[in-house]
Amino acid sequence: MSTINSSTAIHINVIFILPAAGFAKIFYFGMVDKNYVMVMDLLGLSLEDLFDMCSRRFSVYTVMEIARQIFHLVSIIHSKGLLHRDIKPENFLIGRSSNHFEDIYMVDFGLSKEYIDPTTHKHVPFREHKSLTGTARYMSINTHLAREQSRRDDLEAVCYVLIYFLRAPLPWQGLKADNLKDRYNNICQVKRDTSIEALCDGLPREFPAALKYCKELEFGQDPDYGYLNMLFESYIRKNYKDPKPSCDWVHIMKSKRISCESISTNSFRTALQSENPKV
């Protein structure tokens, strides 16, 4: 009989308690021929795939729309007492049908963790000397410093993802080191040395405002998700009148008459990359 590793078990437990828009639905989980089987929504490409397709630069409107949706999804998982702990473009996918190309879904909860103690129903205590969890490019500075993660760390990571979409590469990308530990330390040092103003130079004020807010949150503080959503929704309402533009990838996918429904995601990705090779 096959067994489930801890990461898979966490993923299954999380998505069972997240029956909301923006999260894949599970239709079946159980044993089939002595193997565990899970049937769930089949989604489309990740934001990283779409970023490649768009020549590794998104428009301001597209990133504003991504921000609006991702901050909402993070607020939902946090409302369930959970942290994601691996916020990155690869963990956000779009729908497969053309009418869901602009709907973003959060996936991969293998590193998720409760921040509310199920016994005491209180916030977990602050600790130091924790193992690093997440993706170095996007993880918060506190995570680099081996501090217990909380909601603020997911939110700071979201900000780095958004800024990456507008100005990739980030200042700490491509750093060399003799080993992984030194590389992580180098990334942390550059993050700490790069001011919010320098990182967000030339970007709309909403991005430095969001990052500043997230970095100033206390360990156990309740984030104001409404404020974060308001930043980006207000910008969209002010600067884009109806009918609003579409996200950058929609035009490309429709012009190529690409359908996620008729081919596998891997084939879909290959088809797009053949048209848009990395440089």
pTM value is 0.88
Q: Is residue 125 part of a domain?
A: yes
Paired tokens of 198: 């320098």
Q: 268: Cβ–Cβ under 8 A, 6 or more apart, which residues? A: 44, 45, 258, 260
Among 74, 64, 24, 62, smallest CA distance to 44 is for 24
pLDDT tens digits, residue range 38-73? 788 899 999 999 999 999 999 999 999 999 999 999
CA distance linking residue 105 with residue 70, whole number of Å: 8
CA distance 139 to 130: 14
Bridge partners, residue 28, by sequence: 39
pLDDT at 239 over 90: yes
Q: In the predicted model, what is the mean pLDDT of the chain?
A: 88
**CATH number of the domain to which 74 belongs:** 1.10.510.10
Question: What are 161-219's pLDDT values in tens digits?
Answer: 999 999 999 999 999 999 999 999 999 999 999 999 999 999 999 999 999 999 999 99
The verdict on whether 182 is a catalytic residue reads no
Torsions phi, psi of 239, nearest 5? -105, -10
pLDDT by residue (tens digit) across 102-140?
Answer: 999 999 888 999 999 888 999 999 999 999 999 999 999
Specify if 193 maps to a domain. Answer: yes
Domain annotation covers residue 64: yes
Q: What's 59's DSSP letter?
A: -
Task: Give residue 42's region: left, alpha or beta (phi > 0; psi -120 to 50).
Answer: beta
**Backbone region of residue 257 per phi and psi (left: phi > 0; alpha: psi in -120 to 50; beta: other values):** left
Q: Is residue 26 part of a domain?
A: no
Determine the pLDDT at residue 31. 80
User: What range does the domain containing 116 cover?
Assistant: 45-256
Q: Is residue 263 part of a domain?
A: no
Q: How many beta carbons lie within 10 A of that of residue 17, not counting itself? A: 12
Q: Measure the CA–CA gap between 136 and 229, rounded to whole angstroms.
A: 25
272: nearest Cα among 251, 261, 258, 262 = 258
- DSSP line for 205-240: THHHHHHHHHHT--TTPPP-HHHHHHHHHHHHHHH-
- C-alpha span between 23 and 233 (Å, rounded): 21
pLDDT band at 277 (very low <50, low <70, confident <90, very high): very low
Average pLDDT over residues 6-21: 62
Q: How many domains does the chain have?
A: 1
Residue 109 domain-assigned (yes or no): yes
Residue 261 lies in a domain: no
Q: Report yes or no on 8 lying in a domain.
A: no
Which of 52, 86, 108, 154 does the annotation list as catalytic? Answer: 86
Residue 169 vs residues 59, 161, 182, 186, 201: alpha-carbon distances, Å: 15, 11, 20, 16, 14
